[in-house]
A and B are shown apart, each in its own frame.
Chain A
Amino acid sequence: MNARILIGGALLAVGAIVAGPAAPGAAGSTPQVAIENFRFTPSTLTVPTGTTVTWVNHDAEIHTVTSPAGAFASPALETDEKFSFTFNAPGIYAYFCALHPQMRSTVVVQ
């Protein structure tokens, strides 16, 4: 399972660079992170500074998107609810689900 997530993450990072949905200055580009089966997919998302990322909860369970450093914290997300955050500063943003903290992921902002 770990190998699959790593490959998935790598592919998405490549996709972001090549396909350019998150190209700098591209208006309205909002990469999505799916919350599904108690995982954030992709587990690592790399975006340019200024990007708005949207998380969508596909699970029956409630999840949150919480930065332990305090950079952002979603409300409790029911099924199909969304949360968006605009990353205006570069950095590596680790986040987790406050209800199920074994769910961990990262947004890399360059």
Chain B
Amino acid sequence: MDMDRRGFLECMAWVGTGVVWTAAGGVLSSRTLAQAAETPAGGDFGFVQISDTHIGFKGEANKDVAATLGEAIARINALPTRPAFVLHTGDLTHAQKPGAFDAVAEMLKSVKTERVFYVPGENDVFLDGGKEYLARYGKGTVGGKGWQSFDHRGVHFIGLVNVESYKANGLGSLGAEQLEWLEDDVRKLSSSTPVVVFTHVPLWAVYAKWGWATDDSEQALGYLKRFGSVTVLNGHIHQVLQKVEGNVAFHTAMSTAFPQPAPGSAPSPGPLKVGDDRVRTLLGLREVRYIQGRGPLAVVDSTLA
């Protein structure tokens, strides 16, 4: 519903009631005039999450991961509203294959957005402790170590790294230094600031037996407990699972490369081969919209087919 000037003036006839209806992002929301006056200009925005592009993978589950990433990029570029930025939640490459980092960077140049933010997956750092990844994506992060935070229109975004010291307990790990930084990073934020956390390995125990958990996530979530709206975006497991705990909404994401089995449904995690007619229904991307004044962010997952 688009409101033109006449419509607005008609609306103003109802000013006595002090309510203004606005439509943005297809969602109606009402505010008092006083609240409307406080709203910063252009509050609403959207961004995209993609994950687990695994460029360099050539297994049975998908012989052409570059093609499916290209399809995901085409879908991003076809969105009715241009995303403010893209978050890549890790496993850019498959096993740091030679040339893979270059290929990912090249392909993502064609995304119509201002910027892409990255956090690494274990595939991006396991060979060299993150040297190659950080040489490319460490700049602008805290101490060049890969974690970072930024604000966009009043929403606080936090990118965390939980694969750098991938421990032999089988789980992702944030580590004391990063946790200390996180506590400090959010300390001065008002509790009404919406927070979005993005990191590779899930921050809730999806399935610890398969390494689908982070051993010190509870401590991180403790620092975010007081916030009214926290959205946690993860990758790693190549499927969408969601959980709500109080004010925290967790969403894991699909891969653009290959699916993985549901927790415990197979002897082990790993690339899942499905029929050629089915694979694109299990790969995809996510659009997230922030509607000013609303607590939870609107999360829309879409598949490639």
Chain B CB within 8 A of A60 CB = yes
Chain A CB within 8 A of B227 CB = no
Question: Total interface residues on A, using CB and 8 Å?
Answer: 21
Chain B CB within 8 A of A38 CB = yes
The secondary-structure label for the interface of chain B is: loop
Q: Find residues 160-214 in chain B having any chain A CB closer than 8 Å to their own CB.
A: 166-171, 209-211
Question: Total interface residues on B, using CB and 8 Å?
Answer: 23
Chain A CB within 8 A of B252 CB = no
Q: Find residues 261-280 in chain B having any chain A CB closer than 8 Å to their own CB.
A: 267-271
In the bound complex, how far is the Cα of B170 from the Cα of A96, in angstroms?
A: 8
Which B residues are in CB contact (< 8 Å) with A101?
122, 166-171, 211
In the bound complex, how far is the Cα of B209 from the Cα of A102, in angstroms?
A: 7
Task: State whether B60 touches A102 (Cβ < 8 A).
Answer: no
Task: State whether A64 touches B209 (Cβ < 8 A).
Answer: no
Task: State whether B166 touches A102 (Cβ < 8 A).
Answer: no
In the complex, which residue of chain B has the Cβ closest to the Cβ of A69? B168
Task: State whether A38 touches B168 (Cβ < 8 A).
Answer: no
In the complex, which residue of chain A has the Cβ closest to the Cβ of B125? A98
Given A64-B126, A101-B171: A38 touches B270 (CB 8 Å cut-off): yes
Given A60-B60, A64-B126, A99-B95: A38 touches B269 (CB 8 Å cut-off): yes
In the bound complex, how far is the Cα of B210 from the Cα of A103, in angstroms?
A: 9
In the bound complex, how far is the Cα of B170 from the Cα of A104, in angstroms?
A: 8
Q: When each residue 256-300 of chain B gets 1 if its CB lies under 8 Å from chain A and 0 otherwise, what string results?
A: 000000000001111100000000000000000000000000000
Q: When each residue 85-102 of chain B gets 1 if its CB lies under 8 Å from chain A and 0 otherwise, what string results?
A: 000000000111000000
Shortest distance from the beta carbon of A100 to any chain B beta carbon, whole Å: 6
Interface residues of B (CB under 8 A from A): 59-60, 94-96, 122-123, 126-127, 166-171, 209-211, 267-271
